Amino acid sequence: MNILDVKNRSIDHLTETIWWNKGLTKLNEDTISNYDEFIRNLVQVKGPYLEKVQPPKFSNQSWPDYCERHGIQEEVQSAIRDVVFGGGDGRLYRHQGKAVGSILDSVHGDTDDDMIITVPTATGKTECFVIPALDTAISNQQEREFPRQIKSLIIYPQKALETDQLDRLVKYTYEINKQRTGTEEVKIGIYDGDTPRGQYKITGGQNVRGLECPECGQKLGWDQDSGTMVCTNTDEHRRPVEIDFLELTRDDIEENGADILLTNPEALEFRFFSSDSRDLVNSDLLDLVIFDEAHVWNGNGGKAISQFISRLKNRYSSTMVLASATIANPGEFASDLLNRPEHDISHIDFEAGNVETSVRSGGNLISLDVLSPQDGFRILRAIEEENPDKAELMELVECSEEEIDATLDLLLRLGYLDKEHNTTPHAEDLLEEIKGRDAIEENELQSVFNEVLKFREQIAEKLVNQIPQISEIFQQFGEENFIEVERLLEEIFSDVDQEKQFETLTNLLEWCKLGGVLYDRYHYFIKPYVNFYYCPDCQSMFTERVSESGRNNHSLREVRFCSNCHTPYYEDRGEEYAIAEPCSCSNRSYTEPPMQTTTFLSYFLSQLGRDMKEFGAGKVLVFSNRRGDAEGVGSLMMKLDYSLESERMMISLLDENQDQFYSASNLREDLYEKLKESYVKQPYTYLEDETLSQGLFSQLGGLANPLNKGNHRKLWDAGIISVRPESENNEINLLANEVVKILAFKPHTDLDQSNSIKIDSLRSKLSNSVPTYFDSAPDLDAKLDEALSVLEQADIVSRERERSGDEVVTVLTLRRNFLELTVQREVRICEFCYSGWPFWERSYCPDCGEHTVGVDRNSFDQENFEGEEYTLDHWGKVVLGHGVDPLVSAVHKAGIKTDTRNKIEEGFGANPPKINVVSATNTLELGIDIGTLDCIAGLGIPPTKTSYVQRAGRTGRSLDRSSMVFTVARPHNAVDNFYFEDIENRFLNASSKPVQINHLNYDILKTQVMSEVLTYLNLRDLDYGRFERFETGQDIDEVINDVYDGVEALLDTVDDHRGAIEEHLKEAFEADREDLDQALEDLFDSPSEVKQRVLRRLFKFYTTFRALEKETGQGAKGLRRRRVIQEEILQELEREVGYLPMLLSSAGMISQYRSTDDSVALFREKESEEDGQVHLSYESKSVSQALRESYPEAMDTYGGVDYEVKSAQVSRDEIFSTSVCTNQSCILPYNEYPDLKICPLCEEDLEEISVHEYLGAVLKSSRSRKRTRPLIMRGVDF
């Protein structure tokens, strides 16, 4: 895969899409003086930048020797040997060896050190703590009275990461338990929000957590009889493989415990609150607690975790381990998080490379005509077997003599050939391994060198010491981790032909990858145009507005384009002027030149995703900094790409059935089935998520309709599909086709039957659609009658007489069941309005009268229209120039159903993938192994360098291909623009920012104190049953009264045990003692914050109920509606109010480990199935989600349904006021500057805007986007 070719194809596709969709077709070198520069600047590209990615150093000891030295259990030694080293005796990485040994020493009491591990992604970080956790599970199981006590906690920040790591842990544990009896098995569990209460919640055959069989890799299924996960792959196993050491339900974990428990902070916290877990929590004697991806715990969340760790250490004498990607201040960060001095914390850091790369190698430069490893080892094998001459080698690998000479010289320097060009014993040993695996034909050379260390180490040493250009690459990197490839090529390969420079670099890096010297991950940064600006003085166009001095005193005017014919216009002093000739379009409307960055990225992904299917692993992972952007990219990919692919499928079906009767109705049915197969059944099999599945089926149903105006009208307008000709006279066929288009896309809206029109109206609409034809055809009425007669004879159109008011009119109706369509590959295209005309043989357009040209679509190697950058038969090229190639997209975000998330991860991780493009927030950013992923795309430059490195680390784990990272900078974002101007120095090679913890947040201490108080009362069973749970299946007033009484009981219990609680808290929060008394007073003394916050939550339910009750109408129907509403409210009550810790969490009163939102009530309009009247339905959403849905210009899309705000409610009194820039020409319009009067960017006066409390909104389904001025809504407090 040549990454330059992939980039160029995607950028060319993107540029052409912008050129067409934004109406740039009338621009050319005659009208714009800098036309070529302008087109290039539509998409600005920086890169590629090569990242210095090196493997870790290996330990000096073999795995058996290491295990003997550290006393590792035999079962663990065997399991690691089989899973990690493929049954051989490999070596750990050096940082793994140090970490495992240090953790075991601390756990066994030899030291008292905690630890922080900071190593890059894909360098075996997980094994650093999993090996000691497994060893501890066995050794301490033999020593403890209660063998089921939890011995190790592995705490992850995200559920997706938990699930990913669980599968890896299952493989190790399976190998261990094959050597142990049932009562001695090591047990592992997972406890989070997706863990079901009991086994009754799991259905037979269900694949829980995406788990795979450790033997064959097939998905495991739940066996209800045994209550275990089972693999029933009879082709691989004589009997089912049973995974009986997994605890997958809360009941099982609470009853049986687990040796190793995977969880997250919130779930672990709630485990401490549960009376069902009380006995087990009290018996836990944790030896080891690991916080993986610890760098995410910064700011307020870091302070909360720090205090949570203090609480854990007060309860358990555990070794604490932090594992993280590389961070700038590991010692300081670990000290803050663990509340220990730095000298008591061991730091395990990454050591790169297994050969010395800092010293220049001696010897002569190698010729840079060297071939790839694949061809190099084919040559070496041929020399060993046949000793061919040079001409035969040239024929074998189809290359030049210079390339053969260069490759033979390389093989000599690597020690594979002697001076007489005979193979050496080392080469023969290597070739035996290669032949045994058929590695050349199967493209498995990399795995040979990865798994046999002696081959890897030998080639690494030779590459660095014998090939001066490789040493020079490291010299060019210096202390930096990124270098621009163009600069690297100029410095090292200046004597190589420019077109061959990158190929030379690629081949050298392929050899480097075999030895683990340097891997090839490339980074691109892309920025879309801002707008279109024209200078009438010099007839130049630009894509950004800059100061006049920056454009040599150009006077720039904003350009807009006629939406009908693309003629460009600009405005000067209130007057409108055309660039070149003005158009004659009546009722002219204009396209909006700016493009949303989400749309820009979606167009880019459409081509990039297909290139990855052809040249790469077939998938692209897309990251967005904001959830709304992730949703937007995913939804647009489904909307734009699914529509395009449905049209290609439509063409394919019409071609397949051209020799038989095949109606539009038949086409619709077959296309719908094909779409469901491609976009639902294959990627998901079955979706339990009704919202998503119904949305997808609805969307696909619309796409299956060939007469769908919103999706497929362009196929008719471009003349790609038409009515099958029924007449020998093409003029009649043309008119018949126009009649069907009007009936399909412009019918009468006041008639009862769809696709119907009055015949008089038909004549009127025809006169608007093909006026030039009518002007030249005085016998129009006669020809129209003939065309209608042809359509009626074919049963395509029916004619009926109907009464309309005081008159009887003739109504024509389209009959889809008899309408046959055909694909048109020879048409005439208008050079002005771009309409496509089948059945037309004249040189002028029947619509606008301008010139037409004939197009043969049987081959899209056709030349572009004269003077044009791209072909004006755009849709013909896009639809007919490519075969059917579905690109399946999905959105991965917090809050989606567990089943849906698992299926997305499973489909994306498959090889080949079932899902090709996943648009995600940071839910897939941390530590998740997606296997063969070799391409990442990002919307917006990430907020931190650490986040960018984490995202990039998801790719390149399979070394068989180059990996790429594309980042789209947002043109209206000041931070993105700042970085983009000098991306190499300001971002890529800039120092990572230290990870800091907020030590000054008193509110965080209060939530931790509340959590510890609840834990204290539960674990000591101090009247905890009086207020833990409430009955919610009763009248709402009774529920609210019961909760109120429960809160009073909680306050009384705290008061009764106040002294003991205070002493306990001083031990648990030693670092925060000075604020403890104030925290207890605020929480529990009158006026108690606990009572106030809970009452506020209860008031929300009560007022929501009353507000909805007023909308239910009167009488029996109103009463039924009230009961439905009451049931909805009580369901919400049961989820939140029925369990006091959940209610306190929703009220923000217990531990908040990440940014969380309060919830608000949203009201949606809903039409009653009974009486057809519109009522309001109730829905509770987080504030951030509610705000997103309350912005019409940022509508929320899920499952293909858009919502816009009909009305929003805010508080009457303002919270505060702020200053905002309302100048839409500013780089950052509507940005907030609280303490300024003048915008620092555009120097315009700022406008003072009041900020109010957001209360709720009424939403309605929408299919259109309306532009309104955005509101600023902040400081929400409920």
> DSSP string of 490-511?
HHH-TTS-HHHHHHHHHHHHHH
Walk across the sheet containing 797-804 and list its strands.
756-758, 807-814, 797-804
* Residue whose tokens read 């029925």: 1138
Are residues 327 and 404 located together in one domain of the fold?
A: no
Q: Of the candidates 880, 896, 930, which is a domain's last residue?
A: 880
Cα separation, 557 vs 89, in Å, equals 71
Could you tell me the two tokens for 571?
């405005």
Provide CB contacts within 8 A for 1058, sequence distance 6+.
Answer: 1080
Are residues 470 and 330 located together in one domain of the fold?
A: no
Cα separation, 866 vs 29, in Å, equals 12
Check if the beta carbon of residue 622 is closer than 8 Å to that of residue 601. Answer: yes
Are residues 262 and 116 located together in one domain of the fold?
A: yes
Are residues 80 and 68 located together in one domain of the fold?
A: yes
According to the model, what pLDDT value does residue 616 have?
A: 84
- Is 698 within the bounds of a domain? no
- Is 1025 within the bounds of a domain? yes
Check if the beta carbon of residue 129 is closer than 8 Å to that of residue 323. Answer: yes
Check if the beta carbon of residue 1 is closer than 8 Å to that of residue 615. Answer: yes
Q: Of the candidates 853, 880, 907, which is a domain's last residue?
A: 880
pLDDT band of residue 973 (cuts 50, 70, 90) is confident
pLDDT band of residue 1229 (cuts 50, 70, 90) is low
Are residues 168 and 78 located together in one domain of the fold?
A: yes
CB atoms within 10 A of CB 465: 17
For residue range 366-397, what is the model confidence (pLDDT) as tens digits? Answer: 888 899 999 999 999 999 998 899 999 999 99
Q: CA dist 477 to 442, 481, 556, 945, 964, Å?
A: 34, 7, 42, 19, 19
For residue range 784-821, what is the model confidence (pLDDT) as tens digits? Answer: 889 999 999 999 999 988 877 778 888 889 998 899 99
pLDDT band of residue 923 (cuts 50, 70, 90) is confident
According to the model, what pLDDT value does residue 1159 have?
A: 47
Are residues 220 and 339 located together in one domain of the fold?
A: yes
Are residues 1222 and 1174 located together in one domain of the fold?
A: yes
* Residue whose tokens read 């993280």: 324
Are residues 1052 and 1177 located together in one domain of the fold?
A: no
Our count of domains for the chain comes to: 5
For residue range 63-105, what is the model confidence (pLDDT) as tens digits? Answer: 999 999 999 999 999 999 999 988 888 899 999 999 999 999 9
Strands 852-856, 228-231: parallel, antiparallel or unpaired by DSSP?
unpaired
**pLDDT at residue 349 above 90?**
yes
56 or 943: which carries more pLDDT confidence? Answer: 56
Percent of the residues in the chain that have a pLDDT greater than 70, as a whole number: 84
According to the model, what pLDDT value does residue 1194 have?
A: 36
Are residues 805 and 820 located together in one domain of the fold?
A: yes
- Is 982 within the bounds of a domain? no
Cα separation, 286 vs 273, in Å, equals 18
Cα separation, 723 vs 738, in Å, equals 9
**pLDDT at residue 1207 above 90?**
no
- Is 890 within the bounds of a domain? no
Angle separating helix axes 1036-1056 and 1115-1136, nearest 10 degrees: 20
Q: Phi first, then psi: give them for residue 1052, nearest 5 degrees.
A: -65, -40
Q: Phi first, then psi: give them for residue 212, nearest 5 degrees.
A: -115, 155
Lowest mean pLDDT among 115-124, 547-556, 830-839: 547-556
Could you tell me the two tokens for 1166?
């809903």
Q: What are the helix and strand counts (H, E) for the chain? A: 45, 38
Angle separating helix axes 1058-1068 and 1036-1056, nearest 10 degrees: 80
- Is 649 within the bounds of a domain? no
Could you tell me the two tokens for 467?
């090939």
Tell me the three state secondary structure of residue 256: helix
Q: In whole angstroms, what separates CA 921 from the centre of its chain?
A: 6
Helix or strand run (H / E) with residue 1120: helix 1115-1136
Could you tell me the two tokens for 612?
């990855």
Are residues 1111 and 1161 located together in one domain of the fold?
A: no
Are residues 1147 and 1219 located together in one domain of the fold?
A: no
According to the model, what pLDDT value does residue 801 have?
A: 86
Cα separation, 638 vs 917, in Å, equals 10
What is the chain's Cα-based Rg? 35
User: For residue 781, which of 795, 800, 764 has the smallest C-alpha distance?
Assistant: 764
Check if the beta carbon of residue 600 is closer than 8 Å to that of residue 972. Answer: no
According to the model, what pLDDT value does residue 905 have?
A: 85
- Is 925 within the bounds of a domain? no
Cα separation, 445 vs 569, in Å, equals 59
Cα separation, 1265 vs 1065, in Å, equals 54
Q: In whole angstroms, what separates CA 611 from the centre of its chain?
A: 18
Within 13 Å, how many C-alpha atoms sit on residue 810's CB side?
10
Are residues 1140 and 1076 located together in one domain of the fold?
A: yes
Cα separation, 27 vs 34, in Å, equals 11
Domain that holds residue 193: 63-349
Return the ∠ at Cα 1228 (arms to 1227 and 1234), rounded to 5°: 135
Mean pLDDT confidence for 613-641: 89
pTM across the whole model: 0.85
Could you tell me the two tokens for 354?
């297994």
**pLDDT at residue 228 above 80?**
yes
**pLDDT at residue 337 above 90?**
yes
Bridge partners, residue 323, by sequence = 117
Could you tell me the two tokens for 1196?
């929320």
Mean pLDDT confidence for 630-634: 91
Provide CB contacts within 8 A for 562, sequence distance 6+.
Answer: 23, 568, 569, 583, 585, 588, 589, 590, 591
Cα separation, 1028 vs 1006, in Å, equals 20
According to the model, what pLDDT value does residue 1188 have?
A: 47
Three-class secondary structure assignment of 269-333: HHHHHCHHHHHHHHHCCCCEEEECCHHHCCHHHHHHHHHHHHHHHHHCCCEEEEEECCCCCHHHH
Q: Is 215 left (phi over 0), alpha (psi -120 to 50) or beta?
A: alpha
**pLDDT at residue 1195 above 70?**
no
Check if the beta carbon of residue 43 is closer than 8 Å to that of residue 75. Answer: no
**pLDDT at residue 423 above 80?**
yes
Which amino acid, 587? N
Mean pLDDT confidence for 432-460: 90
Q: Of the candidates 487, 518, 549, which is a domain's last residue?
A: 518
User: For residue 724, which of 773, 796, 632 has the smallest C-alpha distance?
Assistant: 796
For residue range 655-685, what is the model confidence (pLDDT) as tens digits? Answer: 999 888 899 999 999 999 999 999 998 888 7
According to the model, what pLDDT value does residue 1118 have?
A: 63
- Is 918 within the bounds of a domain? no
Could you tell me the two tokens for 192?
């989070």
According to the model, what pLDDT value does residue 94 have?
A: 94
Mean pLDDT confidence for 138-149: 64
User: For residue 13, which of 823, 867, 640 has the smallest C-alpha distance?
Assistant: 640
**pLDDT at residue 358 above 70?**
no
Lowest mean pLDDT among 190-199, 318-327, 347-356, 654-663: 347-356
Lowest mean pLDDT among 732-741, 783-792, 804-813, 1008-1017: 804-813
CATH code of the domain covering residue 339: 3.40.50.300
Could you tell me the two tokens for 654?
């019409």
CB atoms within 10 A of CB 590: 15
According to the model, what pLDDT value does residue 809 have?
A: 85
Strands 807-814, 821-823: parallel, antiparallel or unpaired by DSSP?
unpaired
Mean model confidence pLDDT for the chain:
84
- Is 85 within the bounds of a domain? yes
Signed CA dihedral, 168, 172, 178, 184: sign only = negative
Lowest mean pLDDT among 557-561, 642-646, 858-862, 1111-1115: 1111-1115
Percent of the residues in the chain that have a pLDDT greater than 90, as a whole number: 45
